[in-house]
């Protein structure tokens, strides 16, 4: 079993805790489903949020999905002029037999514009 990394992002419509929870949960669910993963395959997840998001911790959505025994951490994205606003990004470390080229990185909605080269 190899250690792999999966990227993903979602742009929020507004900075509200409930909305963030739903959107981040949808992102995590899509990452798990598209890569054939379960919670047992997760090693850790890094969450970042743009500086305009402060209503909740993105990691709270993972806990809400029952991901309770996986190390999670939240950080703030760099405040780069012209960057897409209200974005939560993830970097999940997983155990998988899939070759690196077959890992499905998930960019939902408008966030797909962030990484057209790997968004699926």
**What pLDDT band is residue 120 in, cutting at 50, 70 and 90?**
low
Domains of the chain from N-terminus onward: 2-115 (3.30.1330.40)
| Pairwise CA distance, residues 83 & 68, whole Å | 32
Share of the chain above pLDDT 70, in %: 97
Q: Which of 31, 50, 52, 46 is nearest to 96 (CA)?
A: 31
- CA-to-CA dists, residue 30 to 33, 44, 58, 93, angstroms: 5, 16, 15, 15
Please tell me the predicted confidence (pLDDT) of residue 114: 87
- Has residue 119 got a pLDDT over 60? no
pLDDT in tens, 17-35: 999 999 999 999 999 999 9
Express each pLDDT in 69-97 by its tens digit. Answer: 999 999 999 999 999 999 999 999 999 99
Separation of alpha carbons 93 and 3, rounded Å: 7
């Amino acid at each position: 079993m190899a250690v792999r990394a999966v990227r993903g992002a979602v742009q929020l419509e507004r900075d509200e805790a409930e909305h963030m929870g739903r959107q981040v949960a949808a992102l995590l669910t899509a990452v798990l489903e598209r890569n054939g993963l379960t919670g047992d395959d997760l090693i850790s997840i890094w969450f970042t949020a743009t500086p305009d998001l402060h209503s909740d911790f993105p990691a709270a959505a993972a806990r809400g999905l029952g991901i309770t025994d996986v190390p999670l951490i939240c950080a703030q994205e760099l405040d780069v002029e012209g960057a897409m606003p209200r974005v939560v990004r993830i970097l999940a470390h997983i155990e998988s037999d899939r070759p690196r080229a077959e890992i499905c990185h998930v960019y939902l909605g408008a966030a797909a514009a962030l990484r057209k080269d790997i968004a699926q």
